[in-house]
Amino acid sequence: MKLIKITGITLLAVIAVACLFAYNNLHDRSKETGVPLRSKTEQARNSVLERIISTITAEKLNQLTHQQLMGVIREEEKDIFAGDHWRFTVDAPALVSVMRHEQQETVPFWFVEKGFRKSGLTVSNANYTYEVWQKEYPAGEIRLGINGFDLHRVVYFVTIGPLPGKPAPRILHHSPDNWPVIAMGKGAYTYNDWDELVIEQLPEELEGHTLFTTIRGRAREAAILKSFRKTAYPASPLADQIMLTWCDDPRTTQAIQWRSDTSANKMSLRYWPMNKPKGRLSERAAEVQILSDPYIINDPMVKHWEVNISGLQPDTEYNYLIYNSENNMEGVTHSFRTAPQGKRAFRFIYLGDTHNDDIVEPVLRQALKDAPDAAFLVHSGDHVNSGLFRDHWDQYMHAARDIFPRLPFLPTLGNHDSQDGLPPTLYTQLFMLPREEASGLVPERNYAVSYGDARFYMLDATGDLQKIAYWLEKELKQTKEKWKIAVTHFPPYATDDAYPEIRRLWGSLFDKYQVDLVLSGHIHQYFRSFPIHNERVVSKPTKGTIYVSSVTVEPREPEPASPTYNEVYANIGGLFQIIEIDHDTLRFISKRVDDTMNDQFLLYK
C-alpha cells in the first residue's frame, strides 16, 4: 500500500490536501447507496472547500454565511449545484413537486432561480412537515439541485405527475436510479434509511404521482456551512487507538490495528510469547491507509495501520508493541491471549449502545473490574452517534484506550454506525473482521467467530436481511459448537409487533437451529424475553431462544414493555453484562456502572 509523507506544511494546506483524498479510500458507495462515488456535486463541493479553507482561518470556517459562500462559488460550480442532484427525462409535460422541510433555515438557492413557486400546500409524516414547491416542465430533461449547503438531514423529496387535465408523463430516465420509485399516497415512505416514517397527510392533487424515494445521507453531498468540526483527540506521531479484533481463528491469529498522524511512514508490530525473552521476538510490517475528513479542521488526515498475525499457539499469552523504524522507537508493551484449543470455560463482556458517551469509560472499567479474566468484548451496535464522523470514533476509542489494546473486540453494526443510508465506511476501515466474500455480502458487516464451545453470529440489522439469512443458515447448518449466540442491533421482541421481517427471516432460523441467545440494543432500555419459539412463548429455554437488549448510555423516555414477550424489563442505562459459558451451563449477569445487580439467569444444555 502506498505511503504518503506530509511534513512541513501548514494546517490549511493539509486540509486542502485532505479534500483530494476525501472519499477516494472509501468502499464503492454506488452499490450500497445509489450515490456515485465522487459525483460532480461532490467534486464541486471539494473544490469550494479547498478555496475557502485556504483563505479562511480554521476558527472562522463555521462562521461563513450562505451569502458569503455564494460569493465564492464559480458559475460552473453553481450550475452543478443547481442541476446535478437529480436528473429526469419525461415524454410529456409534467408537474414537478419538491417537498422541502419547513424548518430548513435557508431555501435552496436554485428553487427561485429555476422558477419553482411555493404552492401553499403541505405534506407531513409523524415527525416533519414539508412545504410543496412546484413547477411545470415541458417534455424533455428535468434537472434539480442540491438540498442545500447546510447539513440539514431532513432532505427534500420529489414527485412527478401530470398537468391538470393531461395524461401522466412517462419517466424515461432518472438519476440516481438505485432507490425505489413508488406511488405517492398515505403510507408511502420517502427515506430508504427510515422506511417506517411514512406520509400521513398530503393534498389530494398529489395522490398517485410518481414518488422518487431518497436517503437522508444526500444532505452531505454539498455540506459546507457549519459543517466543520474539531476532534478532542487528534493523532500524533505515536501509535494510539490500539485495538485487538479477529479476522480469522482466535486460537492461532490476532488482528491488531492502530492510528498515527501522517508523519509516521514505517511502522511494524513486534510480538513474542510472554514466557520467553523479548530477544526472541517476531516482527510483522503493517499495512496502512489514509483516513481523510476535510471537515475535521485540526486533524483532517490520519493513518490507520493494520497487522494480522497468524501461526500463533493456542491458549498462549503474547506481549506486543508497535515499532517505528524511522526513529527506532518502541511503543508501550501490551499483551493478548489466544483462544484455548479445547472447550474450556470462559467469560466475555457484552455492551449495548455506547454512542461515544462519557459513561463508556467508567462502564468499561467496572466491567473489567468484575471480570478481569474476560476473553473478549461483544458490542451489539451504535458504537457512536454518527458513524460518518471520525471525531466521534476518536472519542469512543479514547474512552476504551485501556481496554481495546488488551481485550479482543467483536463489534456489530447499528443504525448510527451506518447513518442516513450511507455505508459504514469508517466502521469497516477501523475494524479488521472476517471477510465473508464468498457469500455475496459486503465484507466485514456479517461474520461468525468460534471461541471454545460457542459460535457467535454477528449480524448487520441494517443490511439486506434476505441475503444475510442465506448466509446465516449456511453458517448454522455447519456449526458444531454446543452454544449458539447471535448478536444484532435491532431487538425483534422488544414489543409485540417489532421487526416482523427479522422475525420471519432470522427468527425462523434461530428456531430451526436452536440458537440459545440473541443479544441486541437500539431501544435504550433493558429487557429479557421469555423463551420464544415460532413467535410464541414456550415453557423452557431448551425449547426456545432468549432475547436480550441492553444499553450503556442512559435510557430514553420509557417505552412500554411487551406484555407478551418480556419477562424482565428495566428503564435504566449504564449497563454491562458478563456472560460465562462453562460446558453445559451459561451464566448471565447484568449490572449497572455502580455495580448493582440488574438481572441474572442461567441456561442449561
Provide the pLDDT for residue 9.
38
Kindly state whether residues 146 and 23 are assigned to the same domain.
Answer: no
Q: Do 43 and 167 have their domain in common?
A: no
Do both 29 and 113 map to the same domain? no
Query: Is it the case that residue 602 has pLDDT exceeding 90?
Result: yes
One domain, residues 33 and 148: no
Sign of CA dihedral 14, 20, 21, 22: positive
Residue 342, in any domain of the structure: no
Sheet holding 287-292, edge to edge: 240-245, 254-260, 301-309, 287-292
The share of the chain scoring above pLDDT 70, in percent, equals 94
Mean pLDDT over each residue of the chain, to the nearest integer: 93
Residues 105 and 26 in one domain: no
Residue 432: CA atoms inside 13 Å, Cβ hemisphere, count?
26
Which residue, of 222, 244, 274, is where some domain finishes? 222
* Poorest-pLDDT segment among 27-31, 168-172, 194-198, 228-232: 27-31
Q: Same structural domain for residues 58 and 113?
A: no
Q: In this structure, is residue 46 part of a structural domain?
A: yes
pLDDT at 123 over 70: yes
Q: What is the DSSP string of 369-432?
A: HH-TT---EEE-S--SS-TT-HHHHHHHHHHTTTTTTTS-EEE---TTTSGGG---HHHHHH--
Domain boundary among 222, 253, 284: 222
Express each pLDDT in 492-519 by its tens digit. Answer: 999 999 999 999 999 999 999 999 999 9
- Is the pLDDT at 20 greater than 60, yes or no? no
Confidence tier at 390 by pLDDT (50, 70, 90): very high
293, part of any domain: no
- Give the model confidence (pLDDT) of 573-588 as tens digits: 999 999 999 999 999 9
Q: Which of 22-36, 189-203, 357-371, 535-549 has the lowest mean pLDDT?
A: 22-36
C-alpha cell at 42: 461532490
Pick from 85, 87, 106: nearest CA to 41: 85
Q: What is the pLDDT of residues 37-77, one digit of tens each?
A: 578 999 999 999 999 999 999 999 999 999 999 999 999 99
Q: Are both 99 and 35 inside the same structural domain? A: no
Same domain assignment for residues 68 and 93:
no
Write down the pLDDT at residue 125.
Answer: 98
Q: In b/e form, how buried is each residue of 378-391, taking b as 16+ CB within 10 angstroms?
A: bbbbbbbbbbbbbb
Is 337 a member of any domain? no
530 and 462 part of one domain = yes
Same domain as 149, residue 102: yes
User: Residue 570's closest CA among 596, 544, 604?
Assistant: 596
Is 415 inside a domain boundary?
yes
CATH number at residue 567: 3.60.21.10
The letter for the amino acid at 291 is L
Residues 68 and 175 in one domain: no
Domain endpoint, select from 222, 252, 272: 222
Cα separation, 10 vs 16, in Å, equals: 10
> For the residues 244-252, what does the mean pLDDT come to?
97
Where in the sequence is the domain holding 152, given as residue range(s)?
Answer: 84-222
241 has a pLDDT exceeding 90: yes
The confidence band for 28, taking pLDDT boundaries of 50, 70 and 90, is very low
Q: How many residues does the chain have?
A: 605
User: What is the tally of structural domains in the chain?
Assistant: 3
Interval 321-377: pLDDT, tens: 999 999 999 999 999 999 999 899 999 999 999 999 999 999 999 999 999 999 999
Record the pTM. 0.92
- The verdict on whether omega for the bond into residue 176 sits within 30 degrees of 0, i.e. cis, is yes
Helix (H) or strand (E) holding 30: helix 29-33
Q: Are residues 504 and 563 in the same domain?
A: yes
Q: Is residue 377 part of a domain?
A: yes
Place 436 in a pLDDT band, splitting at 50, 70 and 90.
confident
Domain-located, residue 52: yes
Residue 285, strand partner residues: 268
Position 33 confidence tier, pLDDT thresholds 50, 70, 90 = very low
pLDDT tens digits, one per residue of 136-189: 999 999 999 999 999 999 999 999 999 999 999 999 999 999 999 999 999 999
Confirm whether 234 is domain-assigned: no
